[in-house]
Amino acid sequence: MKRYFIGLAAALLMPLYAAAQDAGSRIALTPYVCYDIESIPGTASSALERKLTSMATANGFAGMSDRFLLTAIPEVMSVSMTPTAPAQFVVEVEVEVYVVNNPEEVIVGQTVYSLKGVGASEQKAVISAINQINVRSVDTRRFLENARSKIIEYYDGRLPSIIAKAQSLASMTRYDEALAVLSAVPDCLAGYPQIAEMMVDIYTSRIDRDADSLIRAASAKLASG
């Protein structure tokens, strides 16, 4: 029975590794916008969050990270009205976009977009401005490629401590937490084969533990009649 569950663990992990290979060196990066920003309305914050998500996806980032965030701080620089009838709002907006190492409060990369938007209301004009951000522009790609390189350097320099943390968690049977720590490591690192092997071992241990629990429960049920 245990062999069956161990085989199942390996089978379940195969699609994950296939996906990782298909994704190449895709790195987890979480888009995040603070909705308490007073300088823009809430609906504009939603538009900004969608734009950051599109930016991450279009530039090869994937998944969610509790460490690295893609965030932005918008500021309305000016508001004016057109002399037309009906009058339109014209806004100039600066959006500072950052990749940050959130737990360590370190800026990994940053860029600024100077934008202009027009709309029937100030809110619509701000949304129009935010929508002008080109997620595939040369500057955007350069900004995110530089951030990607620094994120890879971060994980490469901390691989021994990441492995030690995962081993410690696994020794306390906190298998899901150990797997989460390891799964954040980009598969493009030279040391990734060791990470992949550890993930198989830990996943197998988790399945083995769960199998023992199921077998004991089934045996107890049979014994009770």
CB atoms within 10 A of CB 109: 19
φ/ψ of residue 159, rounded to 5: -60, -45
The whole model's pTM is what? 0.76
The partner residues of 78 in beta bridges, in order of sequence, read 92
CA-CA-CA-CA torsion for 204, 205, 209, 214, nearest 10 degrees? 0
Binned at pLDDT 50, 70 and 90, residue 25 comes out as low
157-193 tens-digit pLDDT? 999 999 999 999 999 999 999 998 998 898 889 899 9
Q: What is the mean pLDDT of residues 104-122?
A: 95
pLDDT of residue 5: 38
